[in-house]
Structure 1
């Protein structure tokens, strides 16, 4: 992990096309601005983890659903 000190108005560059700028610093926290290409998704970490969890649950349930559908449409002899 790289740890940097930055002041309001300063920023960092990631790769060639992602810029993170310090917009404001208060007692409650730091406000960041992120400039990145539209094809790069940007989420708060807690939201990203929720998305990952929901995707995992969907994959698990889709396997169960596929098995139920298979059993419904399988010819019975």
Structure 2
């Protein structure tokens, strides 16, 4: 573990795109700010563990049973519907209906 001493207003760089800045020190409480790209998740440790536990629980509860998956594989695929009017088959997006004579 790297141990550093920083004063209020000083920062620590993690890689080239994450900055941890000491914002304020009051007694034994230190306020820090983390500047990171949006794709980097930043959580307090207790929140991180709670989110991870909830995700693991949801993933195990949401996993479908093999019998459900087998039933889905056997489900027939409906055939595309055919227009009842042959002239209607000739019209569609970008196709103009035949001109009246």
Match of 1:67 among 47, 54, 65: 65
Number of matched pairs: 72
Instruction: Give structure 2 stretches of 5+ with no counterpart.
Output: 75-101
**Corresponding position of 1:57:** 57
Give SS of 2:65's match.
helix
Instruction: Give structure 1 stretches of 5+ with no counterpart.
Output: none
Q: Judging by fraction of residues, say which structure has more helix.
A: 1
| Distance (whole Å) between structure 2 residues aligned to residue 43 and residue 2 of structure 1 | 20
Deviations 1:15-66 (A, max 9, x none): 1111111000012510001111111111111001001000111111113xx1
**Corresponding position of 1:47:** 47
Report the RMSD for the aligned CA atoms in angstroms.
2.2
Select the structure with the greater relative contact order (CA < 8 A; seq sep ≥ 6): 1
TM-score (normalised: structure 1): 0.80
| Distance (whole Å) between structure 1 residues aligned to residue 12 and residue 43 of structure 2 | 18
TM-score (normalised: structure 2): 0.63
Which runs of 4 or more aligned residues in structure 1 lie more than 3 Å from their structure 2 counterparts after TM superposition?
A: none
| Distance (whole Å) between structure 2 residues aligned to residue 70 and residue 39 of structure 1 | 35
